[in-house]
Amino acid sequence: MVSGVAPDTTQKRKMNNKKNKINPELVSKVWFEKSKEDLKSAKVMLDAHRFTWCAFICQQAIEKYLKGVYVSRYKKIPPYIHKLERLCEELKITLPQDLFRVVVDIDKYYISARYPSYKKVVAIKDYKTAEDIFNKTKEIIKWLKEEIKPQ
């Protein structure tokens, strides 16, 4: 299962080889596609003025891209972690400092969507803040695509 979506039976067969190992090319492709889809969804949330949800989906887009890189690089299922900083550590990725700060900041929106008691603390009330997060997310993914080539 990738990101809570169970693949159909055909995909399941393709994702596994005879020794029950994953097909890294297919699995990483699914992660990259989900990341791209999440980025589009984040834009929809931004345009609908659902600012905190936009930030949450931005976090998801980065997480899924990193997990795609993980599968591509290590040929195995990524760890069940969601903290972007930790995923970067697992991948031995050193982001530029300005992008790293954004990654750390975006992580709090994953928590807020999952734990209602955090929602008031990190609620985004204005378009500009959410738009900045969305644009930085695109910048982070672009940097990852250019600097960390899937293997």
pTM of the full predicted structure?
0.81
Higher-confidence position of 60 and 109 = 60
* pLDDT higher than threshold 60 for residue 30: yes
**CATH code at 21-147:** 1.20.120.330
* pLDDT higher than threshold 50 for residue 99: yes
Confidence of residue 149 (pLDDT cuts 50, 70, 90): low
* pLDDT higher than threshold 80 for residue 13: no
* pLDDT higher than threshold 60 for residue 55: yes
Confidence of residue 119 (pLDDT cuts 50, 70, 90): low
**Least confidently predicted of 47-51, 80-84, 135-139:** 80-84
* pLDDT higher than threshold 50 for residue 145: yes
SS3 sequence, the chain?
CECCECCCHHHHHHHECCCCCECHHHHHHHHHHHHHHHHHHHHHHHHCCCHHHHHHHHHHHHHHHHHHHHHHHHCCCCCCCCCHHHHHHHHCCCCCHHHHHHHHHHHHHHHHHHCHHHHHHHCCCCHHHHHHHHHHHHHHHHHHHHHCCCC
Question: How many C-beta atoms surround the C-beta of residue 28 within 10 A?
Answer: 23
Boundaries of every domain in the chain? 21-147
